[in-house]
Structure 1
Amino acid sequence: MTGVVIVGCGTDGCRTARAAAADCGLPLLTIDREDADICLSDGPSGDAPGDMDGSYFRAMFIHDGDILEHLSGRTAAVVSLFVGGQTADSAALAFGQVASSAGIRVTYVLSVPFRADDTRSRFEPLVESLAQSVPDCRIFVMDLDTAFREDSSALDFAPLIDEFAVLRKHAVESIASLAGDGRYELIFGGRFYTLGYGNGASPAFSAEGALAFPLYRTDIMGKRAVVLTDSPLGPQEREMLVRRTADLTGSVPEVVEGTMQGSTGAFVFIPISFRFSEGS
């Protein structure tokens, strides 16, 4: 997994990336306006042509050499960002274009703001731009609005936001653990996924719980899910996990076993689609 680098774009993305990289011991690259490895407030922006965003211009044409230097010896990058911040969105797009041009496999973990947030309107256009501009990238979506639908009556959202931040970090770590695998593009045959996490009495029950609450609205039936368990599985545990997941989705899942000891938790990754991608 040493060929994988965790990348943070924008303030929230950098915060998640720092925490994830510290936990799993992977290299880190942060890109933000300030207080980052690559600061997009540095360098000229007046030469940006037409209506090109200044942050994109600086990342793509001023700091491209810095990005490539940080990627030296890497084969894959997992990028964390919170959608809607102009710096985060622009940096993520530019980073992906620079990285993919160097043969680096790019994966995005996108956190989407509440439905009431004006910046949410940037979500699907950003996904479309990333999909079109960063060849063969994978995009994982975690929707804050969907995550809290069961807690819509809560008066204090702070604890829920903290829980979401912990889950986002765990997701980045887990996806990074797979990103360096030579089978990565076979495991994730689609380009767009959402995810859920469960921590039940057994991995099978954990997967069932994760499927009940995916972090982006989607119909799980007919979808070939990818299940990543926290810990190795015994033969009976694996058989039960596959059977219960297949019963719920109508499709036999891809199962990848984690290396943590003593945890019954499991992530489930579910393919999703967007209007621009349907039929493509």
Structure 2
Amino acid sequence: MTPEQVLFKLITYLNPLFWYKFYFYETIFIVTIIIFAFQYIRGSKFNKRLAKIHMNQISLELKKYFKNVGDKEQDILYEQDNPHTYKLYASNHPSMKFCLVGLYLHRRENLFNYYGYQFVFPSKERLVIEIGVQPQFRQYICFGIVKQNQIKRIKQEGYEDLKNICHTLTIPELDNSLQILTEYDEIAQQICTPEIIQLLNANQKSIHIIYISDVDRDPACKICVKVMTNLSTNPEYLNLVQLVVQLSLQIAQIKMDLKKITKAGQTRRKFNSKFKD
């Protein structure tokens, strides 16, 4: 084979039109694989950068309250469950048994999900902060704060105790975009101190739901305080972490009278026969 023939074949094989003409389906398959691989790498890297920014900021605030933030044994600040889910754990506080931070990002690594499903059924990225509280006194608390226009949807998302146990309550000082759901009015008034109302109003744009329950909780604690927010591009983590912590500390010191404790216990057993105090 002459050098001219070698050069001609090399040019032919390097020409995309040659592969498209004679290997149409193979070309489509290879190009598709390359596009999906590129999107996976690109989307995963973007989510990693985003997670690093948010988790670093929120860990700085958590260190003000918890002695242990992150996994010291593995020497990592937070864990990556998959390319779009990240979790951070904090512990060692007298009243707060643990704090679990979950960051749920868009599935940018998945081409179909990010540019297809997300376009048809848009969803928001979430930041969820969950604190397990060990109260000083025996208590039953079921309490929630949601957006006014999201009450029906929230009750359909699995928060059965909010749906079956709680009623709405209006506090004039609270931003009118937020709605309180509570079992007992006086408990809600004890929770919503002026400081907490101020923090609620400061975070009202990002709050999706605040859920405080003795029913849906971790076995390691008596009360679970869960705050789910829409992820903001410029988050005020000072206010947000302070809100979750202040709610938890306020819950820990609430004292209920015996009649309400007895009645609340009966309500939960009626609502859930498997409920354990």
Q: TM-score, normalised by structure 1?
A: 0.26
Task: State which structure, 1 or 2, has the greater radius of gyration over its C-alpha atoms.
Answer: 2
Q: Which has the higher contact order (CA 8 A, sep 6+)?
A: 2
Q: TM-score, normalised by structure 2?
A: 0.27
